[in-house]
Amino acid sequence: MRSASLLLCAAMLAFGACARANAATPAADAAATPAACRLHAGEKVVLFSAGGDPAVFVWDSPVRLRDYNAASYDEAQAMAVRATLVAPGTRALVASCRHNYVQSPYSEQPDDAVGITIITGPQRGHDYWVLGSDVRRVSHVAVPAP
Partner 1 sequence: MKLSAPLARVTGTLLLTAFLLVALAVAVQGAFQTRASIADTFARQASIEQAQIALEELLRLQIYEESLLRGYSLTHDTFYVDQYQEAVADFDAKVAAIRTTLAAQRLDSVRLMLEQYVGLQARWRSTIAAPMLSHPDRQLLEMDKRNKFLSDYETKIVEAIRNALANTNAELARTTQTELDRSSYARTFWLLVFGLLAILFNGFRSRLYQELEEEKNTTEILQRAFRSESVPLPNCRIGSAYLSAGSHLAVGGDVFDVYRLSNSLALLLIADVSGKGVDAAVLTAFIKFTIRGIALRRRDPGAILGEFNTAFAQTVENPYLFVSMFVGVLDTDSLLLTYASAGHDSAFMRRSSGVQQLAVTGPVLGVMEEPFGTKSVIMEDGDILVLATDGLTEARKRTGEQLRETGAIDLIAAASDDPQLLADELVAQVRALGGNHPRDDLAILAIRADPPKAAPHA
Binding-site ranges for partner 1 (CB under 8 A): 49-53, 55, 57, 73, 76-77, 80-81, 83, 85, 104-108
Closest approach of partner 1 to the CB of residue 107, in Å: 6
> Pick from 5, 29, 16: which is nearest to 128 by CA?
29
Smallest separation (angstroms) from partner 1 to the CB of 97: 21
Residues in a beta bridge with 117? 93, 127
CB of 82 to partner 1, least distance (A): 10
Of 21 and 80, which CB lies nearer to partner 1 in the complex structure?
Answer: 80
Widest CA span in the chain: 46
Q: Report how far residue 31's alpha carbon sits from residue 37's, in angstroms, rounded to the nearest whole number.
A: 13
In the complex, the smallest distance separating the C-beta of residue 72 from partner 1, rounded to whole angstroms, is: 10
Nearest Cα residue to 97 out of 49, 52, 143, 36: 36
Q: What is the C-alpha separation between 21 and 13, in angstroms, rounded? A: 10
Taking the least distance from each CB to partner 1, the nearer of 34 and 54 is: 54
Which is nearer to partner 1, 39 or 79 (by Cβ)?
Answer: 79
Q: Which is nearer to partner 1, 24 or 130 (CB)?
A: 130
